[in-house]
Amino acid sequence: MPTPTQSIANAVKAYEEAVRGRPAQPDMRQAANGDDFASLVKGAIEEAKKIGEKSEKLSIAGIADRADIGKVVTAVAEAEVTLQTVVAIRDKVIEAYKDIIRMPI
């Protein structure tokens, strides 16, 4: 059974693969400085992945009694909040997609 941190990493990896796998739209213009929505989402996913990895490393160090328990607890709580945020955003995106699908043409 995967640990919560592994699940976070797997979810982030799946989102990254989904972003890479979508076909490029030739008529879409990307902002010169990268401030488009896709860049924003990709940056947030990468940050969530870093937080999950940091939490995992500190948890392993804590189990081996090489890390301060306060730092371990803080890192795990931060990873949990990050995961909850990612899931909430995903749910809102899915809800918006369903609303668009239900719109009459």
Q: Give pLDDT tens digits for 9-43.
A: 777 777 677 667 654 444 444 444 556 777 888 88
Residue in this structure with the two tokens 């989102």, named with its chain if needed: 15
Burial (0-12, 13-18, 19+ Cβ within 10 Å), 83: buried
Q: Is the pLDDT of residue 105 over 90?
A: no
Q: Give pLDDT tens digits for 83-96.
A: 999 899 889 989 99
The rounded distance, in Å, linking the Cα atoms of 21 and 11 is 15
Q: Is the pLDDT of residue 65 over 80?
A: yes
The rounded distance, in Å, linking the Cα atoms of 82 and 60 is 19
User: What was the pLDDT predicted at 7?
Assistant: 64
What is the chain's mean pLDDT, rounded?
79
pTM of the prediction?
Answer: 0.57
Burial (0-12, 13-18, 19+ Cβ within 10 Å), 12: buried
